[in-house]
Amino acid sequence: MRERIDIDIKVPNQTRYLSLIGKIGEDVARTIKRFDGDREKLAYNVNVVLTEAMANAILHANRDTLDPEVHVRISVLNRVLTIEVFDQGQGFDIDALPAHNPDSCHESGRGIYIMRSLMDRISYKKSKNGYVLVMVKSLSS
């Protein structure tokens, strides 16, 4: 039977919810059927990318928004994991960001690099009420 998971969550725009959403993401990764890779590593990585994307939305994108919330969607279909984090901000061109130099000793600027490293592809595009960061990872070996 084909596996389809769809989880839709909305939380207030506060970093106290990072842990909750990260844990939900970990549980999804642990529950997925027919995954031959390192399941604990996948769970941890899902927690990381969810935390990074949500922190971007909460601390940057939604900063000047009245009564903001963060909307997260986690889905699995056809052995592809898709994570979407919706914000209500003004957006930015993710491809125009300078490439992170992993040998740099800057305090910030690692979030996008981490998300790109742990997922197969990421994009940031216009959505209904703001922007959405979409992260995709194949679950096939």
Partner 1 sequence: MELILDEKNGIVTITVEEERLDAHNSGELKTRMTSLFEDEKSNIIVNLKAVRFVDSSGLGALVSGFKNASARNGNLKLCGLQPQVKSMFELTRLHRVFEIFTDSEEAFSSF
Q: Which residues bind partner 1 (CB under 8 A)?
A: 15-16, 18-19, 22, 41, 44, 47-48, 51-52, 55, 58-59, 102-103, 105-111, 113-114, 117-118
The answer to whether 115 and 100 have CB atoms below 8 angstroms apart is no
Of 17 and 86, the one with the shorter C-beta distance to partner 1 is 17
Q: Kindly report the number of other CB atoms within 10 A of residue 9's CB atom.
A: 14
Nearest to 54 by CA among 78, 22, 94: 22
CB of 134 to partner 1, least distance (A): 19
CB of 113 to partner 1, least distance (A): 7
Of 93 and 103, the one with the shorter C-beta distance to partner 1 is 103
Of 111 and 130, the one with the shorter C-beta distance to partner 1 is 111
CB of 28 to partner 1, least distance (A): 16
CB of 88 to partner 1, least distance (A): 18
Of 20 and 80, the one with the shorter C-beta distance to partner 1 is 20
